[in-house]
Structure 1
Amino acid sequence: MTINVVLVMIIGFAGGLAVGSGFVAFLAVLGIIPRLTQLTKTMKMIHYYEAAVVFGALAGAVASLWNPVLFFTPYILIPLGLAAGVFVGMLAAALTEVLNVFPILAKRIGVDGKIAILLMAFVFGKVIGSLFQWISFVNR
């Protein structure tokens, strides 16, 4: 092996450690999983949540290395996309609840009494951005 290959391997491993450490710190320090189980009243199933996060991270790592192409019909992709959206939304909701981001942001930009409008702006922005990405870049 040449020095370039070894250097790329070391850089890739270091990058993976950095991202993995950040992910674990995000989950552990903020207590995302216990808070999510508390909100959904499924504390007895916390081990399943933790296993799902571990297997999801492993599946994501394997998929990023192998770059698989999956040929699914839209009837399968729609529920998968909805599940992914629910996951991202619940993770974002748990994070914002833990950090109390919206009240702090509303106070800083001077819209204290209009947090609902601020939330709806975020929701509509996310929906419009997702639709734009889907319409512009998917199936082209």
Structure 2
Amino acid sequence: MNKRKVLIPIDGTERSMHSLDFVKEIFPNDSIEIMLMNVKELVLINEMIVADEIKFAQELGEEILEAAKEKMKDYSKVDTYFTFGYPGDEIIKKAQEENIGVIVMTKSTKRGLNRIIGSVTTSVVKRAKCIVMIVPNDFTISLN
């Protein structure tokens, strides 16, 4: 039997790490394959991207992924993926490429313009061809 593939986009915030706890709570460690993903949105300044900033962003993204992978070490298959781009688009693209069965994300806490134009989570929910699970910001594991 093929294991269900679970995509967990994380941005390094404590909030995004809640999705890791959620996955550990609901999926036994031998039941899924995990893809941890970090997407860095590039900001163009006068149509230029500074090479040092790209290198720094990638190093930071890979550190975030390694910390998440360590947290999920009880699972037999945990892959990581870092890329640059618009997070909503990249998450959808990766989900299709990897034949992902479930995307697990946390709600955005962003305000202002992002809320008006729609968050990454909203974009993914609207466009995903698989199950999308949204973890509440205040999710905590009950130890009873």
TM-score interval, smaller chain: under 0.3
Q: Could you say which structure has the higher strand fraction?
A: 2
Q: Could you say which structure has the higher helix fraction?
A: 1
Q: Which has the higher contact order (CA 8 A, sep 6+)?
A: 2
The TM-score with structure 2 as length reference comes to 0.25
* Larger CA Rg, structure 1 vs 2: 1
